[in-house]
Structure 1
Amino acid sequence: MSTRTADAVIVGAGVLGASVASHLARSGHRVLVLERGAPGREGSGTTAGNLHMQAVHTKRPGQAVPLDSARFLPLQRAASDRWETLEEELETSVEVRRTGGFTIAETEEQYQELRDKHGWEAAAGIHTEILDGDAARAALPLLGPTVAAATWCDLDGYANPLKVTPAYLDSAARHGGRTVAFAPVRRITRNGDGWRVVAGRGAAERVVDTPVVVDVAGPWLGEIAALAGITLRMTPVAIQMHATVRSSATMSHLVQHIGEGLSVKQVAAGNLLIGGGWPALSMDLAGRSDTSLDSLVGNVALAVRVLPFIRDLRLLRMWAGPLAATPDEMPVIGEVPGAPGFYVAGGTYAFTFAPLWGETLRCLIEGKPPPVDVSDLGPGRLMERWGQQDNGPEQENHQDRRSKRC
């Protein structure tokens, strides 16, 4: 089998891999994207497509460790700027809708969370407005009587995930990038100063030598790293989404809950998508994860309580999708220590961060300053120390950092 060369091999053709491919190809790099299945059909094809620009709820249902909302906000601010110009860059519509969003609270404790996050958002340059329950219902009469307060952010919105990933891959292709589907990576070994990547089998086997490997394999990020002898502690999960039948245009804004797992929006086709990170029944990286009836009941009941009009809509379907999560619930991005040329990216809210992470990885690969500081988000924190101490000092240090930022 002949050996080919590339300036960069990207493992994973989800939204992150597609974004990296586009950024590198447009910068003149010879890029090859390898995908185990069909591009954009795993986590990137099952996400809600939300663009979260104000602070998000810190825990999914069942999530043990809260994410660091204050640390997220500068990243969200930078991502917001890039979504604003994305369709122009990609030369096509991906149904970006910046219609604004409400994050609601139902209790006094949650109301205090809104006030706290409002301060963090102001510091990050994200404009939000705090509304009491009556003012929130005046602004969005669809809200139910249990809503005690809300914050409004005009930057929130959504895009169509089934269009974003293909658009990025098309952009890469226009600049010489290649994507090979149904080519699972089987081996990654050192080859001089670079890497040798073997994908596919038999007549379809490909051997590629490259100085750069970018592991953006989503829930399989840890498995791909392991092929290169790199141990990263990842905690992938499967979450589920619920969609109603189509209805006339009713709600143009994204609605989220600060204290419970809920996000609701109406997409261009007229369906309402109800999510918020509720867990699937099982996590199956070899096939398809099973959906949970308990999560269906809990998620939809919460949506009906907050937005009573949903009660009259028939549920169309539900599905589960894999999510690449880390033990500290923060993104991971950067070059792996001790493995020159091997980069990883993934973790929480990857869809929102996709344009930013693509640019960031291009800068890191080219040895240029990244657009945002990601020094504390590198993969080194997921290596040896995590394996030696479960829920020990490292987790406590993360919480200490969170307190200092807040």
Structure 2
Amino acid sequence: MSALTADVVVIGAGVLGGAAAFHLARGGHRVIVLDRGAPGREGSGTTAGNLHVQAVHTRRPGQEVPLDSARFLPLQRAASDRWNSVEAELETSVELRRSGGFTIAETPEQRAELIAKHAWEDRAGIRTEVLDGDGARAALPLLGPTVTAATWCPLDGYANPLLTTPAYLAAAVRHGARLHPFCPVRAVERSGSGWRVTAGDLTVEAPHVVDVAGPWLGEIAALAGIGLRMTPVAIQMHVTVRLPETLRHLVQHIGEGLSVKQVTAGNLLIGGGWPALRLEPDGRSPVSLSSVLGNVAQAARVLPFVRDLRLLRTWAGPLAATPDEMPVIGEVPGAPGFLVAGGTYAFTFAPLWGETLRCLVEGKPTPVDIRDLGPDRLLEPAAPAAPYEEAR
């Protein structure tokens, strides 16, 4: 069978793959999107869907290297600006809510971190307000007595991940992209000046490959002979019974892994990066009971009303982490046309990274400086890789 041709092959039909395909197809590029399973069912379908605009906690439980919040903030500001137009561009609702958020502290050290991040946010053009404990409880009476300080950001919010990824993919298809689910990639190899990708029964030739395979980004790169130091992990989320509108804002903890919000359906969603036991090769992750207890106890401590709610279910979702906990995006040195994008907080960055990947394909200046976020810092000799579908 003769090979299909495209301008760009996007590997991974999660939120980053959908955003990249949309921006590329809207720009007139012929795009083929491949996914080993159902689109948006792995990390993108299990994320909390938070839009983090103010600085996030620097460590999740079990995280060894702190996140560089000062470097993150210009990226968060640029992503926030782009989320304002997402629903208009995709011509549908993704239940985007910019209801504002509180980042809370309980210890003197955490309070000092809030004050430091407020200065970074101000330099990045993100408006936040520092409140003492009493001021925080006056603004949000649901907060418990252990909260000693908070920062308020009106731009924080969330979108429904179960709507966002399908909306991006549907919009990409309307602009001519071709989506091939249940089509696992088996080989990625050079073909002339471009690339040949073998997936399922398809062979696709294109000058550009965009690897946005989430936790399996490194495995796809290995098929192309590229070694990237990535650390796939699985984090847990918990959902309570539905209740009347109670918590209108996103609440996150500056010093510990916690985020809490009430979604449109009325359920409370508790997340924040507490780890599952392990990430299995098929992408599934057994739930850690200790993480469930730790995360829920933390939520009940800072939001006491939570202790009266019944927990409906808990699940674990995979994500791609880099050794330095920063995003990775850019062209792989020595592999012209092979682009990667991923890392933590990919949901928040999706509109920005989709636009950035289009600029990289077109050889145009990127909307934000990504020179220190490229894959060059993660390169290592590639180990022989099993075909992508066998590793599942």
TM-score range, shorter chain: over 0.9
Instruction: Name 1:103's counterpart in structure 2.
Output: 103
**Is residue 2:352 matched to residue 1:348?**
no
Q: In structure 2, the residue corresponding to 1:213 is in which secondary structure?
A: strand
Alignment of 1:357-376 (within 5 A): 357-376=353-372
**Is residue 2:294 matched to residue 1:298?**
yes
Partner Cα distance (1:69, 1:95) in 2: 27
Partner Cα distance (1:136, 1:78) in 2: 27
Instruction: Name 1:211's counterpart in structure 2.
Output: 207
Partner Cα distance (1:142, 1:190) in 2: 57
Instruction: Name 2:386's counterpart in structure 1.
Output: none
The residue type equivalent to 1:111 in the other structure is R
Percent identity, aligned pairs only, is 77
Q: In structure 2, the residue corresponding to 1:355 is in which secondary structure?
A: helix
Partner Cα distance (2:119, 2:37) in 1: 43
The residue type equivalent to 1:226 in the other structure is A
The residue type equivalent to 2:244 in the other structure is S
Alignment of 1:86-125 (within 5 A): 86-125=86-125
Instruction: Name 2:387's counterpart in structure 1.
Output: none
Partner Cα distance (1:282, 1:368) in 2: 40
Instruction: Name 1:381's counterpart in structure 2.
Output: 377
Partner Cα distance (1:285, 1:160) in 2: 27
Q: In structure 1, the residue corresponding to 2:72 is in which secondary structure?
A: helix
Instruction: Name 2:389's counterpart in structure 1.
Output: none
TM-score normalized by the length of structure 2: 0.97
The residue type equivalent to 2:14 in the other structure is G
Partner Cα distance (2:283, 2:157) in 1: 31
Instruction: Name 2:144's counterpart in structure 1.
Output: 144
Higher helix share: 1
Give the drift of 1:287. 4.2
**Is residue 2:266 matched to residue 1:270?**
yes
Give the drift of 1:385. 9.5
Instruction: Name 2:311's counterpart in structure 1.
Output: 315
Q: What whole-Å deviation, never above 9, does each CA across 1:68-111 have from its counterpart, x for those lacking one?
A: 00000000000000001110111100000000000000011100
Instruction: Name 1:189's counterpart in structure 2.
Output: 189
Q: Does the Cα contact within 8 Å between 2:230 and 2:321 map onto a contact in 1? A: yes
Partner Cα distance (1:179, 1:67) in 2: 34
Q: Does the Cα contact within 8 Å between 2:25 and 2:176 map onto a contact in 1? A: yes
Against the structure 1 CA distance between its residues 30 and 386, is the aligned structure 2 distance closer, same or farther, given a 3 Å change threshold?
closer
Instruction: Name 2:281's counterpart in structure 1.
Output: 285
Q: Does the Cα contact within 8 Å between 2:102 and 2:152 map onto a contact in 1? A: yes
Q: What whole-Å deviation, never above 9, does each CA across 1:137-169 have from its counterpart, x for those lacking one?
A: 000000000000000000000000000000000
Q: What whole-Å deviation, never above 9, does each CA across 1:333-369 have from its counterpart, x for those lacking one?
A: 0000000000000001000000000000100110000
The residue type equivalent to 1:96 in the other structure is L
Task: State which of 240, 246, 253 in structure 1 corresponds to 2:249.
Answer: 253
* 5+ long unaligned stretches in structure 2: 384-392
Give the drift of 1:288. 1.1
Partner Cα distance (1:360, 1:122) in 2: 24
Instruction: Name 1:73's counterpart in structure 2.
Output: 73
The residue type equivalent to 2:156 in the other structure is D
**Is residue 2:173 matched to residue 1:173?**
yes
Partner Cα distance (1:98, 1:155) in 2: 6
Question: How many residue pairs align between the two structures?
Answer: 383
Q: In structure 1, the residue corresponding to 2:273 is in which secondary structure?
A: coil
**Is residue 2:331 matched to residue 1:338?**
no
Q: In structure 2, the residue corresponding to 1:57 is in which secondary structure?
A: coil
* 5+ long unaligned stretches in structure 1: 388-406
Q: In structure 2, the residue corresponding to 1:173 is in which secondary structure?
A: helix
Against the structure 1 CA distance between its residues 105 and 385, is the aligned structure 2 distance closer, same or farther, given a 3 Å change threshold?
farther
Q: Does the Cα contact within 8 Å between 1:15 and 1:351 map onto a contact in 2? A: yes
Give the drift of 1:49. 0.1
The residue type equivalent to 1:84 in the other structure is N
Q: In structure 1, the residue corresponding to 2:110 is in which secondary structure?
A: helix
Q: Does the Cα contact within 8 Å between 1:233 and 1:386 map onto a contact in 2? A: no
Q: Does the Cα contact within 8 Å between 2:52 and 2:76 map onto a contact in 1? A: yes
